Structure 1
Amino acid sequence: MMIDETHRPLRDPAVNAVIDRLAAAQQYPPDDPRARLERDPHDYSEYGYSIAPQQGDLIYLLCRGIRATRVVEFATSVGMSTLYFAAAVRDNGGGTVIGSEIVPAKVATARRNLAEAGLADYADIREGDARATLRDLGGPVDFALIDGWLGVEPSLAREVIEIIAPQLRIGGYVMNDNAEPDFLAYVRDSANGFLSVTLPLHGGTELCVKVA
Protein backbone atom coordinates (compact mmCIF):
# COMPACT_ATOMS: atom_id res chain seq x y z
CA MET A 1 0.00 0.00 0.00
CA MET A 2 1.38 3.40 -0.97
CA ILE A 3 1.34 6.17 1.61
CA ASP A 4 -0.02 9.50 0.43
CA GLU A 5 2.66 11.87 1.71
CA THR A 6 0.47 14.87 0.85
CA HIS A 7 -2.26 13.79 3.27
CA ARG A 8 -1.03 14.91 6.67
CA PRO A 9 -3.02 15.05 9.89
CA LEU A 10 -1.10 18.12 11.05
CA ARG A 11 -2.41 20.87 8.75
CA ASP A 12 -0.57 23.96 9.94
CA PRO A 13 1.59 25.18 7.00
CA ALA A 14 4.07 27.00 9.25
CA VAL A 15 4.69 23.93 11.39
CA ASN A 16 4.90 21.63 8.38
CA ALA A 17 7.43 23.92 6.71
CA VAL A 18 9.80 23.56 9.67
CA ILE A 19 9.21 19.80 9.84
CA ASP A 20 9.98 19.45 6.12
CA ARG A 21 13.17 21.47 6.49
CA LEU A 22 14.38 19.33 9.38
CA ALA A 23 13.51 16.09 7.59
CA ALA A 24 15.41 17.18 4.47
CA ALA A 25 18.47 18.12 6.53
CA GLN A 26 18.59 14.83 8.46
CA GLN A 27 22.00 13.16 8.21
CA TYR A 28 24.15 10.74 10.17
CA PRO A 29 27.92 10.68 10.72
CA PRO A 30 30.06 7.80 9.40
CA ASP A 31 30.65 6.52 12.95
CA ASP A 32 26.96 6.25 13.76
CA PRO A 33 26.61 6.55 17.55
CA ARG A 34 23.35 4.62 17.44
CA ALA A 35 25.46 1.44 17.43
CA ARG A 36 24.97 1.08 21.21
CA LEU A 37 28.54 1.99 22.13
CA GLU A 38 29.60 4.48 24.75
CA ARG A 39 30.09 7.85 23.05
CA ASP A 40 29.76 11.45 24.16
CA PRO A 41 26.59 13.05 22.73
CA HIS A 42 28.32 16.45 22.79
CA ASP A 43 30.62 15.20 20.03
CA TYR A 44 27.58 14.96 17.73
CA SER A 45 25.99 18.32 18.43
CA GLU A 46 25.68 19.16 14.72
CA TYR A 47 23.58 16.07 13.99
CA GLY A 48 19.86 16.20 14.70
CA TYR A 49 18.78 12.66 15.49
CA SER A 50 15.01 12.80 15.14
CA ILE A 51 11.89 10.74 14.70
CA ALA A 52 10.59 10.09 11.19
CA PRO A 53 7.60 12.11 9.93
CA GLN A 54 5.40 8.98 9.99
CA GLN A 55 6.13 8.62 13.71
CA GLY A 56 5.34 12.29 14.16
CA ASP A 57 2.01 11.90 12.42
CA LEU A 58 1.14 9.07 14.81
CA ILE A 59 2.17 11.13 17.82
CA TYR A 60 -0.01 14.01 16.63
CA LEU A 61 -3.03 11.76 16.02
CA LEU A 62 -2.75 9.93 19.35
CA CYS A 63 -2.30 13.15 21.29
CA ARG A 64 -5.33 14.68 19.59
CA GLY A 65 -7.32 11.50 20.25
CA ILE A 66 -6.64 11.42 23.99
CA ARG A 67 -6.89 15.22 24.29
CA ALA A 68 -3.34 15.39 25.60
CA THR A 69 -2.30 18.61 27.29
CA ARG A 70 0.84 17.53 29.16
CA VAL A 71 3.47 15.46 27.38
CA VAL A 72 7.15 14.66 27.89
CA GLU A 73 9.99 13.65 25.60
CA PHE A 74 13.51 12.29 25.93
CA ALA A 75 15.45 13.53 24.07
CA THR A 76 14.43 16.74 22.34
CA SER A 77 17.43 16.97 19.96
CA VAL A 78 16.64 19.75 17.46
CA GLY A 79 12.92 19.67 18.18
CA MET A 80 11.33 17.53 15.46
CA SER A 81 9.17 15.52 17.87
CA THR A 82 8.58 18.66 19.93
CA LEU A 83 6.90 20.29 16.95
CA TYR A 84 4.34 17.47 16.63
CA PHE A 85 3.67 17.42 20.37
CA ALA A 86 3.41 21.19 20.69
CA ALA A 87 1.05 21.44 17.72
CA ALA A 88 -1.15 18.72 19.21
CA VAL A 89 -1.44 20.29 22.66
CA ARG A 90 -2.08 23.69 21.08
CA ASP A 91 -4.80 22.22 18.87
CA ASN A 92 -6.28 20.51 21.94
CA GLY A 93 -6.77 23.90 23.54
CA GLY A 94 -3.41 24.43 25.19
CA GLY A 95 -0.78 22.62 27.20
CA THR A 96 2.92 21.96 27.60
CA VAL A 97 5.60 19.74 26.11
CA ILE A 98 8.32 19.02 28.66
CA GLY A 99 11.52 18.15 26.81
CA SER A 100 14.99 17.18 27.96
CA GLU A 101 18.19 17.66 25.97
CA ILE A 102 21.74 17.40 27.27
CA VAL A 103 23.53 19.20 24.41
CA PRO A 104 23.24 23.01 24.77
CA ALA A 105 23.59 23.67 21.02
CA LYS A 106 20.63 21.40 20.31
CA VAL A 107 18.53 23.10 22.99
CA ALA A 108 19.15 26.43 21.26
CA THR A 109 18.32 24.96 17.84
CA ALA A 110 15.12 23.35 19.10
CA ARG A 111 13.97 26.63 20.61
CA ARG A 112 14.62 28.43 17.32
CA ASN A 113 12.67 25.82 15.39
CA LEU A 114 9.72 26.08 17.77
CA ALA A 115 9.76 29.86 17.52
CA GLU A 116 9.82 29.67 13.71
CA ALA A 117 6.78 27.38 13.82
CA GLY A 118 4.92 29.66 16.21
CA LEU A 119 4.94 27.05 19.00
CA ALA A 120 7.46 28.44 21.48
CA ASP A 121 4.79 29.07 24.12
CA TYR A 122 3.90 25.37 24.31
CA ALA A 123 7.33 23.90 25.13
CA ASP A 124 9.47 23.71 28.26
CA ILE A 125 12.84 22.36 27.13
CA ARG A 126 15.02 21.47 30.08
CA GLU A 127 18.76 21.43 29.48
CA GLY A 128 20.67 18.62 31.19
CA ASP A 129 20.59 14.94 32.02
CA ALA A 130 17.05 13.57 31.69
CA ARG A 131 17.55 11.44 34.79
CA ALA A 132 17.54 14.74 36.69
CA THR A 133 15.47 17.10 34.53
CA LEU A 134 12.49 14.72 34.22
CA ARG A 135 12.38 13.53 37.80
CA ASP A 136 9.59 16.00 38.64
CA LEU A 137 7.13 16.65 35.81
CA GLY A 138 4.79 18.66 38.00
CA GLY A 139 1.85 16.29 37.71
CA PRO A 140 0.47 13.46 35.56
CA VAL A 141 1.41 13.39 31.87
CA ASP A 142 -0.60 12.00 28.95
CA PHE A 143 2.13 10.87 26.56
CA ALA A 144 5.87 10.19 26.69
CA LEU A 145 8.40 9.75 23.89
CA ILE A 146 11.61 7.93 24.79
CA ASP A 147 14.08 8.32 21.93
CA GLY A 148 17.34 9.22 23.59
CA TRP A 149 21.02 8.48 23.37
CA LEU A 150 21.99 4.83 23.00
CA GLY A 151 24.60 3.06 25.09
CA VAL A 152 25.32 -0.01 27.15
CA GLU A 153 22.85 -1.40 29.68
CA PRO A 154 21.26 -0.18 31.75
CA SER A 155 20.17 1.98 28.84
CA LEU A 156 19.03 5.54 29.34
CA ALA A 157 15.66 4.47 27.93
CA ARG A 158 15.27 1.97 30.77
CA GLU A 159 16.35 4.48 33.40
CA VAL A 160 14.06 7.19 32.03
CA ILE A 161 10.97 4.96 31.74
CA GLU A 162 11.38 4.01 35.37
CA ILE A 163 11.37 7.72 36.25
CA ILE A 164 8.47 8.66 33.97
CA ALA A 165 6.17 5.65 34.42
CA PRO A 166 4.88 6.68 37.89
CA GLN A 167 4.10 10.14 36.47
CA LEU A 168 2.15 8.84 33.45
CA ARG A 169 -1.62 8.70 33.83
CA ILE A 170 -3.61 5.52 33.31
CA GLY A 171 -4.49 5.40 29.61
CA GLY A 172 -1.40 7.41 28.71
CA TYR A 173 0.97 6.36 25.93
CA VAL A 174 4.70 5.78 25.67
CA MET A 175 6.49 5.59 22.32
CA ASN A 176 10.03 4.21 22.00
CA ASP A 177 12.09 4.46 18.83
CA ASN A 178 15.25 2.47 19.51
CA ALA A 179 13.98 -0.85 20.91
CA GLU A 180 16.51 -1.04 23.72
CA PRO A 181 16.25 -4.61 25.07
CA ASP A 182 16.04 -3.58 28.72
CA PHE A 183 13.35 -0.97 27.90
CA LEU A 184 11.32 -3.65 26.10
CA ALA A 185 11.76 -6.00 29.05
CA TYR A 186 10.32 -3.34 31.35
CA VAL A 187 7.21 -2.48 29.33
CA ARG A 188 6.52 -6.13 28.47
CA ASP A 189 6.58 -7.19 32.11
CA SER A 190 2.91 -7.10 33.13
CA ALA A 191 3.93 -6.22 36.68
CA ASN A 192 4.86 -2.73 35.44
CA GLY A 193 1.35 -1.96 34.17
CA PHE A 194 1.88 -1.62 30.40
CA LEU A 195 0.60 -3.21 27.23
CA SER A 196 2.77 -2.75 24.14
CA VAL A 197 3.04 -3.56 20.45
CA THR A 198 5.80 -3.18 17.87
CA LEU A 199 4.77 -1.07 14.87
CA PRO A 200 6.42 -1.24 11.43
CA LEU A 201 7.57 2.37 11.50
CA HIS A 202 11.15 3.61 11.15
CA GLY A 203 12.60 0.13 11.52
CA GLY A 204 10.43 -0.70 14.53
CA THR A 205 8.56 1.55 16.95
CA GLU A 206 7.28 0.30 20.30
CA LEU A 207 3.92 1.81 21.32
CA CYS A 208 2.84 1.23 24.90
CA VAL A 209 -0.22 2.15 26.93
CA LYS A 210 -0.34 2.33 30.71
CA VAL A 211 -3.24 0.21 31.98
CA ALA A 212 -2.46 -0.13 35.69
Structure 2
Amino acid sequence: MSEAHPSRGPLLDPRVLRVVDRLCAERRRPPSGNTREERERRDPHDFADYGFSIQPDQGDLIYLLCRALGARRVVDFASSVGMSTLYFAAAVRDNGGGLVIGSELVPQKADVARRNLAEAGLEEFVDLRVGDARKTLLDLGGPVDFALVDGWPGAGKPTLAREVLEIVAPQLRVGAVVMNDNAEEDYLDFVRDPARGFRSLSLPLKGATELSVKVATAAE
Protein backbone atom coordinates (compact mmCIF):
# COMPACT_ATOMS: atom_id res chain seq x y z
CA MET A 1 0.00 0.00 0.00
CA SER A 2 1.36 3.45 -0.83
CA GLU A 3 2.12 6.08 1.80
CA ALA A 4 -1.11 7.94 1.01
CA HIS A 5 -3.30 4.90 1.87
CA PRO A 6 -5.58 5.43 -1.17
CA SER A 7 -7.76 2.41 -0.39
CA ARG A 8 -8.82 3.77 2.99
CA GLY A 9 -11.07 6.53 1.84
CA PRO A 10 -11.19 9.98 0.26
CA LEU A 11 -8.71 11.64 2.66
CA LEU A 12 -5.22 10.90 1.32
CA ASP A 13 -2.88 13.14 3.37
CA PRO A 14 -0.50 10.74 5.18
CA ARG A 15 0.29 13.31 7.87
CA VAL A 16 -3.37 13.65 8.80
CA LEU A 17 -3.98 9.91 8.54
CA ARG A 18 -1.15 9.19 10.98
CA VAL A 19 -2.87 11.35 13.59
CA VAL A 20 -6.23 9.71 12.87
CA ASP A 21 -4.65 6.26 13.25
CA ARG A 22 -3.08 7.24 16.57
CA LEU A 23 -6.36 8.61 17.92
CA CYS A 24 -8.12 5.39 16.93
CA ALA A 25 -5.44 3.33 18.68
CA GLU A 26 -5.68 5.50 21.80
CA ARG A 27 -9.47 5.47 21.94
CA ARG A 28 -10.67 4.33 25.36
CA ARG A 29 -14.09 3.60 26.76
CA PRO A 30 -15.06 4.61 30.30
CA PRO A 31 -14.94 1.88 32.97
CA SER A 32 -17.60 -0.80 32.80
CA GLY A 33 -20.89 0.51 34.13
CA ASN A 34 -20.56 3.98 32.63
CA THR A 35 -23.36 3.63 30.12
CA ARG A 36 -24.55 6.48 27.96
CA GLU A 37 -27.50 6.94 30.33
CA GLU A 38 -25.13 7.28 33.29
CA ARG A 39 -22.92 9.74 31.41
CA GLU A 40 -25.96 11.84 30.60
CA ARG A 41 -26.43 12.43 34.32
CA ARG A 42 -22.80 13.38 34.94
CA ASP A 43 -20.68 16.47 34.29
CA PRO A 44 -18.69 16.20 31.02
CA HIS A 45 -15.64 17.44 32.94
CA ASP A 46 -15.70 14.07 34.74
CA PHE A 47 -14.65 12.50 31.41
CA ALA A 48 -11.85 14.92 30.52
CA ASP A 49 -9.51 11.97 29.85
CA TYR A 50 -11.85 10.32 27.34
CA GLY A 51 -12.17 11.43 23.73
CA PHE A 52 -15.73 10.72 22.64
CA SER A 53 -15.23 11.12 18.90
CA ILE A 54 -16.70 10.19 15.56
CA GLN A 55 -15.55 7.04 13.79
CA PRO A 56 -13.30 7.20 10.69
CA ASP A 57 -16.15 6.19 8.36
CA GLN A 58 -18.12 9.19 9.61
CA GLY A 59 -15.01 11.33 9.11
CA ASP A 60 -14.63 10.07 5.56
CA LEU A 61 -18.23 11.09 4.86
CA ILE A 62 -17.64 14.52 6.38
CA TYR A 63 -14.53 15.02 4.27
CA LEU A 64 -16.20 13.86 1.04
CA LEU A 65 -19.34 15.95 1.53
CA CYS A 66 -17.31 19.04 2.41
CA ARG A 67 -15.27 18.59 -0.77
CA ALA A 68 -18.46 18.16 -2.81
CA LEU A 69 -19.95 21.32 -1.29
CA GLY A 70 -16.77 23.32 -1.69
CA ALA A 71 -17.18 24.06 2.02
CA ARG A 72 -15.25 27.06 3.33
CA ARG A 73 -16.97 27.70 6.69
CA VAL A 74 -17.96 24.75 8.88
CA VAL A 75 -18.98 24.12 12.49
CA ASP A 76 -17.61 21.29 14.63
CA PHE A 77 -19.60 20.69 17.83
CA ALA A 78 -18.18 19.24 19.93
CA SER A 79 -14.52 19.06 18.94
CA SER A 80 -13.43 16.80 21.82
CA VAL A 81 -9.81 15.75 21.11
CA GLY A 82 -10.06 16.83 17.48
CA MET A 83 -10.95 13.72 15.46
CA SER A 84 -13.83 15.38 13.58
CA THR A 85 -11.88 18.65 13.44
CA LEU A 86 -9.09 16.93 11.52
CA TYR A 87 -11.46 15.80 8.77
CA PHE A 88 -13.13 19.20 8.55
CA ALA A 89 -9.84 21.10 8.48
CA ALA A 90 -8.35 18.82 5.83
CA ALA A 91 -11.43 19.32 3.63
CA VAL A 92 -11.41 23.09 4.06
CA ARG A 93 -7.69 23.22 3.26
CA ASP A 94 -8.14 21.01 0.21
CA ASN A 95 -10.99 23.24 -0.96
CA GLY A 96 -8.56 26.16 -1.09
CA GLY A 97 -8.89 27.49 2.44
CA GLY A 98 -11.52 28.53 4.93
CA LEU A 99 -12.38 28.15 8.60
CA VAL A 100 -13.46 25.37 10.94
CA ILE A 101 -15.27 26.84 13.94
CA GLY A 102 -14.95 24.32 16.74
CA SER A 103 -16.55 24.37 20.16
CA GLU A 104 -15.39 22.34 23.14
CA LEU A 105 -16.57 22.71 26.73
CA VAL A 106 -13.67 20.94 28.47
CA PRO A 107 -10.40 22.94 28.30
CA GLN A 108 -8.19 19.85 28.64
CA LYS A 109 -9.77 18.31 25.55
CA ALA A 110 -9.40 21.54 23.61
CA ASP A 111 -5.68 21.56 24.45
CA VAL A 112 -5.32 17.99 23.17
CA ALA A 113 -7.25 18.88 20.00
CA ARG A 114 -4.93 21.80 19.30
CA ARG A 115 -1.87 19.55 19.66
CA ASN A 116 -3.40 17.00 17.30
CA LEU A 117 -4.19 19.67 14.73
CA ALA A 118 -0.66 21.04 14.97
CA GLU A 119 0.77 17.55 14.46
CA ALA A 120 -1.36 17.20 11.33
CA GLY A 121 -0.36 20.66 10.06
CA LEU A 122 -3.95 21.94 10.12
CA GLU A 123 -4.07 24.39 13.05
CA GLU A 124 -4.21 27.49 10.83
CA PHE A 125 -7.65 26.49 9.54
CA VAL A 126 -9.34 26.13 12.95
CA ASP A 127 -10.89 28.58 15.39
CA LEU A 128 -11.43 26.35 18.43
CA ARG A 129 -13.67 28.11 20.94
CA VAL A 130 -13.68 26.88 24.53
CA GLY A 131 -16.88 27.12 26.55
CA ASP A 132 -20.62 26.59 26.31
CA ALA A 133 -21.55 26.17 22.64
CA ARG A 134 -24.80 28.00 23.26
CA LYS A 135 -22.58 31.07 23.65
CA THR A 136 -19.52 30.29 21.53
CA LEU A 137 -21.57 29.54 18.40
CA LEU A 138 -23.92 32.53 18.52
CA ASP A 139 -21.91 34.37 15.85
CA LEU A 140 -20.32 32.21 13.16
CA GLY A 141 -19.19 35.14 11.04
CA GLY A 142 -21.05 34.27 7.86
CA PRO A 143 -23.04 31.57 6.08
CA VAL A 144 -22.09 28.04 7.14
CA ASP A 145 -21.71 25.16 4.67
CA PHE A 146 -21.60 22.17 7.05
CA ALA A 147 -22.23 21.57 10.74
CA LEU A 148 -21.61 18.58 12.99
CA VAL A 149 -23.82 18.43 16.08
CA ASP A 150 -22.26 15.78 18.30
CA GLY A 151 -22.02 17.24 21.79
CA TRP A 152 -22.59 15.82 25.25
CA PRO A 153 -25.84 13.78 25.22
CA GLY A 154 -27.44 15.31 28.29
CA ALA A 155 -30.65 13.96 29.77
CA GLY A 156 -32.50 17.28 30.04
CA LYS A 157 -35.02 18.68 27.60
CA PRO A 158 -34.42 20.48 25.43
CA THR A 159 -31.21 18.60 24.80
CA LEU A 160 -27.99 20.43 24.11
CA ALA A 161 -28.05 19.13 20.53
CA ARG A 162 -31.48 20.68 19.97
CA GLU A 163 -30.42 24.00 21.50
CA VAL A 164 -27.24 24.15 19.42
CA LEU A 165 -29.10 23.27 16.23
CA GLU A 166 -31.58 26.09 16.85
CA ILE A 167 -28.63 28.49 17.18
CA VAL A 168 -26.77 27.22 14.13
CA ALA A 169 -29.71 26.59 11.76
CA PRO A 170 -30.39 30.25 10.88
CA GLN A 171 -26.69 30.67 10.07
CA LEU A 172 -26.64 27.77 7.59
CA ARG A 173 -26.88 28.60 3.91
CA VAL A 174 -29.48 26.85 1.79
CA GLY A 175 -27.79 23.67 0.59
CA ALA A 176 -25.77 23.27 3.79
CA VAL A 177 -25.42 19.85 5.41
CA VAL A 178 -25.86 18.94 9.09
CA MET A 179 -24.72 15.69 10.70
CA ASN A 180 -25.81 14.41 14.11
CA ASP A 181 -24.35 11.44 15.98
CA ASN A 182 -26.42 10.86 19.11
CA ALA A 183 -29.96 10.87 17.65
CA GLU A 184 -31.50 12.91 20.47
CA GLU A 185 -35.26 12.65 20.16
CA ASP A 186 -36.00 16.38 20.24
CA TYR A 187 -33.17 17.04 17.76
CA LEU A 188 -34.76 14.58 15.34
CA ASP A 189 -38.19 16.16 15.90
CA PHE A 190 -36.71 19.49 14.79
CA VAL A 191 -34.68 18.40 11.79
CA ARG A 192 -37.35 16.01 10.44
CA ASP A 193 -40.08 18.66 10.54
CA PRO A 194 -40.36 19.94 6.94
CA ALA A 195 -41.44 23.34 8.24
CA ARG A 196 -37.92 23.79 9.64
CA GLY A 197 -36.48 23.77 6.13
CA PHE A 198 -34.54 20.48 6.24
CA ARG A 199 -34.70 17.12 4.52
CA SER A 200 -33.20 14.32 6.58
CA LEU A 201 -32.04 10.71 6.43
CA SER A 202 -30.73 8.23 9.02
CA LEU A 203 -27.56 6.42 7.94
CA PRO A 204 -26.27 3.13 9.41
CA LEU A 205 -23.01 4.62 10.70
CA LYS A 206 -22.01 4.25 14.37
CA GLY A 207 -25.47 2.95 15.17
CA ALA A 208 -27.35 5.81 13.54
CA THR A 209 -26.06 9.02 11.99
CA GLU A 210 -28.61 11.63 11.00
CA LEU A 211 -27.70 13.49 7.81
CA SER A 212 -29.74 16.54 6.86
CA VAL A 213 -29.72 19.16 4.12
CA LYS A 214 -31.10 22.66 4.52
CA VAL A 215 -33.37 23.12 1.51
CA ALA A 216 -35.13 26.34 2.53
CA THR A 217 -35.40 28.88 5.27
CA ALA A 218 -37.70 27.88 8.12
CA ALA A 219 -41.39 28.58 7.69
CA GLU A 220 -42.50 31.69 9.51
For 1:1-212, list aligned pairs within 5 A. Answer: 6-30=7-31, 31-32=33-34, 34-35=36-37, 37-152=40-155, 153-212=157-216
**Taking structure 2 as the reference length, what is the TM-score of the superposition?**
0.92
Alpha carbons 1:33, 1:39 under 8 Å: kept: no
Question: CA offset at residue 5 of structure 1?
Answer: 9.1
Greater RCO, CA 8 A, separation 6+ = 1
Q: Give the conservation status (yes or no) of the 8 Å contact 2:103–2:137.
A: yes
What residue identity is the alignment partner of 2:90? A
Q: CA deviation at 1:56?
A: 0.1
Deviation at 1:70, TM superposition (A): 0.3
* TM-fit CA distance, 1:23: 1.0
Paired with 2:35 and 2:86, the residues of 1 have a C-alpha distance of: 24
Q: Aligned partners of 1:175 and 1:51: how far apart in 2? A: 11
| AA aligned opposite 1:34 | R
Q: Give the total of aligned pairs.
A: 209
One-letter amino acid matched to 2:203: L
SS of equivalent to 1:27: coil
Give 3-state SS (helix, strand or coil) of 1:107's partner: helix
Superposed CA deviations along residues 8-64 of structure 1, whole A, max 9, x for unmatched, are 210000000000100111111124363263210111000000000000000000000
Cα distance in 1 for partners of 2:35, 2:166 equals: 24
Partner Cα distance (1:33, 1:122) in 2: 35
In 2, the alpha carbon distance for the partners of 1:196 and 1:64 equals: 20
Deviating above 4 A after TM superposition, structure 1's stretches of 4 or more consecutive aligned residues are none
Give 5+ residue unaligned stretches, structure 2: none
Letter in 2 for 1:17: R
Look up the SS of the partner of 1:172 in the other structure: strand
Q: Structure 2: how far apart are the matches of 1:150 and 1:32?
A: 13
* Cα distance between partner residues in 2 of 1:68 and 1:122: 12
Distance 1:39 1:5 in 2: 41
Aligned identity (percent) is 67
Conservation of the 8 A alpha-carbon contact between 2:51 and 2:80: yes
Shift of 1:97: 0.3
Gaps of 5+ in 1: none
TM-score by length of 1: 0.96
Secondary structure of residue in 1 paired with 2:142: coil
Structure 2 CA distance for partners of 1:14 and 1:33, relative to 1, 3 Å:
same
Once residues 6 and 19 of structure 1 are traced to their aligned partners in structure 2, the CA distance between those partners, rounded to angstroms, is: 15
Q: CA deviation at 1:165?
A: 0.1
Equivalent pair of 1:34/1:149 in contact (CA under 8 Å):
no
**C-alpha deviation, 1:108, in angstroms:** 0.3
